[in-house]
Amino acid sequence: MATEHVQQYIPLEYDPEEYGLDETEHINIYEHYRLTVDPGQTLTRVDIFLANRLKHITRSRIKNATLAGFVKVNNQPVKASYKVKPYDEISIILPYPPAPDLQPEDIPLNIIYEDEYIIVINKQAGLVCHPGCGNFKGTLINALLYHFKYRSNSQLVEPTSIRPGLVHRIDKDTTGILVIAKTELAYTYLAKQFYERTTHRYYYALVWGNVKQDKGTIIGHISRSPSDRKKFIVIEDGSTGKPAVTHYQVLQRFGICTLVRCKLETGRTHQIRVHFKYLGHTLFGDTFYGGNRILKSKPSKSYQRFITECLNLLPRQALHAKTLSFIHPITKKWMHFDSDLPQDFMNILTKMAEFTKVELNPEIFSSQPIFEIDKT
């Protein structure tokens, strides 16, 4: 019998789309490998094969990756019991982050829900989700590390063993609901839901101008701008970029601006901001995409003064991740979370209503209760 060995053991240059991940999500894939099986390999379970080859990775991590569909043989997801054969191409991605080498920071968090497996927060404006690009302080991760160390009420997990795992994220100046995994198992099951797009997410956005249709769908590939790599644009012919779909419904018309509710079918970076700019309705206050300029020809002095006051009250994009629904990774209960619009957002809507003499839609103020539905 030939000696078993691995011909190749290299980092996997993976395409995030292959795993159903988008640009905001795939940065959470912390370890990725591809292995080519030797021609002398005997039939062996894939989980055992990987555990023998990847000595620094625990069997439980491999098991969780397999359950989530992150272990593929010849580009097809397999079960842990799959028997590897000579020349099989095995790829594995491990989504749970390594223990962060960061300092806990006492940053206030608006915690909506917490148990020993997950924590759901209503993120405030100005808080970066994850360290990066020289920004290693004052982030959500720093705040969570402090919370887990000093304030967590977890009963089944020791706070020292908990580390935050961001399954998704929202922009620094976007407010709203986020779910964070506290254990590897919870992270794996949540990640599976996000890449299978079985979660439900609704955003509220205030955009410039009067959106013509009461409801609609924006379809357009999104790619980095060739002139500014920090920005994104819509590629009309779809020749480059990644497919993106945003559904919207008008909630309130002010003439000056329109309040819309958005449901994402995909989750590309800056998707809502880029899609509405492409539609000709840049998000109000979005300095990055030009939404902080008065979009009206020859405005009167009173109008100009009014808009300037509004922009000063909300010096960021008017975007709020209002609801999030998913299946709890352990209890398998359907979890739904809804949040009120932040005060600065509501202040702008109130001023808009007063200035344009319209009555605010009561639906704007309503919050659906947090609930659980047992789907087992």
Task: Give residue 33's pLDDT band: very low, low, confident or very high (50, 70, 90).
Answer: confident
Residue 182, SS3 per DSSP: coil
Residue 156, SS3 per DSSP: coil
- Domain 6-94 class? alpha beta
For residues 96 and 200, the model is more confident at 200
Mean pLDDT of the region 244-265: 94
Which among 86, 90, 91, 89 is positioned nearest to 42, based on CA atoms? 86
Q: Which of 171, 173, 286, 338 is catalytic?
A: 171
Whether 6 shows a pLDDT value over 50: the answer reads no
Lowest average pLDDT, out of 152-161, 187-196, 247-256, 275-284, goes to 152-161
Mean pLDDT of the region 107-130: 93
What topology does CATH give the domain 111-196?
Pseudouridine synthase (3.30.2350)
Whether 281 shows a pLDDT value over 70: the answer reads yes
Q: Where are the domains of the chain?
A: 6-94, 111-196, 200-374
Measured distance CA(162)–CA(345) in Å, rounded = 34
Instruction: Write the pLDDT tens digit of every residue in 288-308.
Output: 999 998 876 667 888 889 999
Measured distance CA(106)–CA(374) in Å, rounded = 35
Average pLDDT, the chain: 83
Amino acid 166 reads L
Question: Looking at the chain, how many residues does it have?
Answer: 376
* Same fold yes or no, 111-196 and 200-374: yes
Mean pLDDT of the region 208-216: 95
Instruction: Write the pLDDT tens digit of every residue in 130-157.
Output: 776 556 788 998 999 889 887 766 544 5
Measured distance CA(342)–CA(332) in Å, rounded = 30
- The answer to whether the beta carbons of residues 177 and 367 sit under 8 Å apart is no
Whether 178 shows a pLDDT value over 90: the answer reads yes
Residue 173, SS3 per DSSP: coil
Angle between helical axes of 46-53 and 59-67 (0-180°, round to 10): 140
Q: In the structure encoding, which two tokens stand for residue 326, read together?
A: 């998913």
Residue 3, SS3 per DSSP: coil
The matching CATH number, chosen from 1.10.287.3510, 3.40.190.10, 3.20.20.70, 3.30.2350.10, for 200-374 is 3.30.2350.10
10 Å Cβ neighbour count for 272?
A: 26
pLDDT cut 90: percent of the chain above it = 52
Q: Is 374 in the active site?
A: no
For residues 131 and 310, the model is more confident at 310
Relative to beta strand 165-166, strand 257-264 is: unpaired
List % helix, strand, coil for the chain (3-state, nearest 5).
25, 30, 45
Mean pLDDT of the region 4-19: 38
Measured distance CA(376)–CA(327) in Å, rounded = 10
Residue 103, SS3 per DSSP: coil
Which among 26, 338, 335, 318 is positioned nearest to 171, based on CA atoms? 318
Task: Give residue 259's pLDDT band: very low, low, confident or very high (50, 70, 90).
Answer: very high
Instruction: Write the pLDDT tens digit of every residue in 38-93.
Output: 888 999 999 999 999 888 788 888 888 888 788 999 989 999 999 999 999 998 88
Helix (H) or strand (E) holding 308: helix 301-313
- The answer to whether the beta carbons of residues 177 and 110 sit under 8 Å apart is no
Triad 92, 98, 103: Cα angle to 5°: 160
